[in-house]
Structure 1
């Protein structure tokens, strides 16, 4: 019975040890319901933002993006204002919005990184409680709702009273249904609102056109005012010729000549000749030739009239010259016309109206082309053919660019391939853009318009010389996407050369194109379609994932394999969807970068799947079972069991008394004759005294406590070491040991010699002391600059993970080296770098790449550039590569500078004339200076 009790105690101890060692696995909480919003009140969507210490973050850059239930954009990156308690919110107007689920997310950029949170919400109709919000109304009784609705006592639910006459007595009436009794339809409010929206869009486009023509309109108005003044002065002279003195007439002539100006003036002068020069700059000499000739005639006549009055006074010749001057002024006035002139009127206002109508026609054709591209996949081949043929005819009628007959030709048939029709539509869009540029702006330099076509991928550029009198040479330069290599180029125009830009690590096409007056040329480069992942490859990856997943069924790896297998299939399906959604060539290239991220994720998951499949190969053995998902738990249980049984055996053995030695086997000691035996106590029949022993209960308790403590301590230590020895997601870079190590340990000054051996003389063997461990030497892949953020610094972490240990922070604007690049499990790109003798990882989104190494302060700048300042704008130099940083200098005219540092979007320059440094956008840089 006592033995059974002992074993029961030990069994309880073992079970308790197993209970404490088995880890508790986390259980994910089910997602809550979406936020409910009604269409009768605004809805506030927001979230609190805290850092790792639960301190509110009030300086983050947070935005909200939401989509309608049909997937179209509802709110596009709306900025969320911060508050002191870390609350970021957005007030959404729900009135009139469609009912359903609005997929939404809040994304915030902080000094610690970038994060997004699902904030989807639903818009529903108001509930019954909101309808019956009064005490005297219930679900079964209306209370006084009828009186409150109809207001008058003679109206009820069964009788309208004077309601009909009251409704039709008002001037504003709407219908809820467009169908009449006779089957005809009327316009409803929705129809009118839809038309109003379309008209608003057209109005915005026309406003853009008006803004583009506002300069020429104002010049024509000023010209008309000047001519009216001259006309008034001339009429006054003729009307009062007999009463005016010569001095009075000369004063009128002075005023007339001041308004007229002279033929050396430019568009900036406020005179008749100045305004005429604006018209010449805008539309050439043909459109303003009549006005210019009349102005020249008026100027010559006014000069002759002044001479005649000075020499002969009010003579008949002077009067005839006044009549001639008036005729010239009338001619100018007729050539200007009035604002009521149509596009067929031969006047300046008629020309303006003609340009406006041409731009409107271009915009309408552009809208038609965009609509055709949007519906391309849903239209039949016959419908596409008819629309392309009609649009080609319309565009050919309004086109003013020469040598583009191959774009506007309508020699297409119903057998024409859809890819060819698509390419013609894309080319017509580019042609319309060129025509609009010619009409809207004062153009003197050649115009370059680029677009993409199908047929692999074809990069095309249309270059036209707007000048009607001079030949111009165009330095053409076109950079290809970074994926394009020399071997990917199928064919090119003979005028082009393909070169490699080492600073940007991309290929580009270049040529010097000479165009005659009004000349046009189309250049093209055909490249392999390297931006599409073949469906055969996608199917092969799916098959590989299925084959790897099959052996994991009925194993301990099944759950882990299911997750990886599902992620692989989801990523491959997303790749297929993204490629199908890319209708246009540029959409295909843009979507490729997203599909590449998904493909990299597939490859990583496949490698992980291969690893666990190889581990599952020995699943029938003990080591294979232990190597499963719950390896730590299994090892802990085994160690507890083994240690418990071992110590149980030791304890049981300690309780068993040793066997007594037989007396016959005891050999009495032998003493020499010179030695006397030690005195022995006399045996008087009394047993010798025994050594006192502890109580059995105390002994048992101490032993049990010691065994339990040793068991748990040993098992916990071994389990911890197993856990620590498991490979982590990202290994920390190992330290490089010094090549010099200790050959012989240096003894301590306090070491004493061994008592069994005499001290020895020290030898002359030199002692090699350890050297300081140097920082690992890594090759520099590239250099980057820390981009400005809200906190003007970014985090340097121990691993390529936002949750890894924060080592230090790096201020913005600092140049740092990059040793390697890595994508983590979330698809984020991280860069390995070092700062202040400390290595770590930074997020690639927070840096800007330097195109070429930055020179030291004592070295010469990279190259000279010209900062081009537009006539309508001002260019600023900034202290950092960001428009949000402080301005170091303002430029109002072109200026030469020298490059210090260059990134893809920014250049740090020095204005040597005034010794000022700063960052400037690449948009204002002009290169190739001598």
Structure 2
């Protein structure tokens, strides 16, 4: 429908002219078909005349002042500057009852927005009721089809008899065979149940340290909500823009604009990974099962159908597509309303409202989780009466938050618990229930899950398993792994439905069993084990005493500073192990603390081995022979070098002297007697031969003594080391073992 726009002054905003909604067509007994170039309303009926007002950026103008002026067909005044009522989306209109005078009512709407002013032709035609073609309602169509007297089930050729295989077949008759509606319905139900068994069969595999990433799911929800919000806003904006120029653009341009909308909407076959309206909406349904997502699916499907039908009409050359912009605008607005925005709270029935509710629920679970952890840390400071009161209060509040079906009977927390262990386990059970609800949030709505927590006595592994089906009773297989430290001899007891098995590849035990659960039923299974996740104090004291004993031999030696450092590291590590074990309030903390303590303990043992090596080296230096023995390697090589050098030097010296025949030696007389010096010739070679034998004998004797000393010293050092090691190891032997063997 084309409309004429009359601009009376220069403006900076744009008015988009659209087909006016006819209220009489919506609420009256009959609908009205518009004339070629003007709006038509039946006589003496309700009619609405109005316009959407936008600026150049297609943002609704909500602060304008608009009025309508209209004249009867004879030219007399009908409306004289009648004020129009505005809405938040930029619509300005007037709802009135038409007169009984038929004909064209020349009308215009004039608006003032700030300093800008414009007028729009809004002439309309009042026609007689008899000239309007009546469109039957869905009820009229159904009544006409089923009430038609000219056709019977047995009289429509052979169609009905072919379907029912008998002319006397009825919907409720007995003996229906293949091909009948009842058989089809039965087969459909059986197929549905079979699919339910196969798709939702809750085979549970879990491990105490494996947790689904709830925060990652919440972050993905926030991101997808932002994407679907902007995509919906973009579609709404494009539809409004298309409305403004639908009557003035070619078929090709219309197809291009519609194809753009179709790309944003996507197809009904899009999966949840697609960044289309269908894909993102399916993501919210599959991850959260939001009711708003199911409502949005209706509006998205309507918009998708309208676009597909219009595409087919334009391609086939059918120009009767003027209704598309109005229909698309209605669907886009309804879709936008079902999405909402970030300002929505948990009370709003929108996508963002449901996201807000989920975020609030997660925050409540986190709050109670932190409160329960704080109570566990301060447990020893509370008296029995206070503990009983807290158990009752938190049991009431957490069961009110719980969303796992039939969990109240499983918890079984009553006010009759009195012992400290029972009260402690009640809090651990409540903490486990909070953890299970957080895991339930992290899972997809129809996906089975198991959540494990620990209780005292000695250590009890409790696992919650749920049948997700709301249709059938299922035999549910449960399988979950125990920590690697748990061995067969560590198992104290477990439910009779469970069986203990060993996984060769992972090197750890797991329990497996089958449970028949009713639809929506939940059940807990448990395994009790010995408390093997602790290092006894006697062992820690023994290691500390052993380090002190190994440090004493290092005093007044070059190794003392190194020994002090090692002993200090050992004591710090042992004190850390003891402190961490004392601070571990819950069974989960005990498991994690034990893993850290094992690493510290391994480091302590390595440093003690280093102290043993230092003490072995230094222990032999307390005596002279020991000093020699401590340096025996250097002494042996030194003696060999000295003896070799002495023999070489002696040989060279003797050769040199043997080449001299003799030498005149002057023997001085007493100066007082003024004696004459007498010359005496002495054969030196003979004397040297005698001295050579003596020197060789002395050297060989000294070498023998040195070698014997080295051998004797090494034996002495070995005996002393053995004695010291026996003394040090004796301290360790008297202590208790660290913990049961892991094999």
TM-score, normalised by the number of residues in structure 2: 0.45
Q: Which has the larger radius of gyration?
A: 2
* Greater share of residues in helix: 2
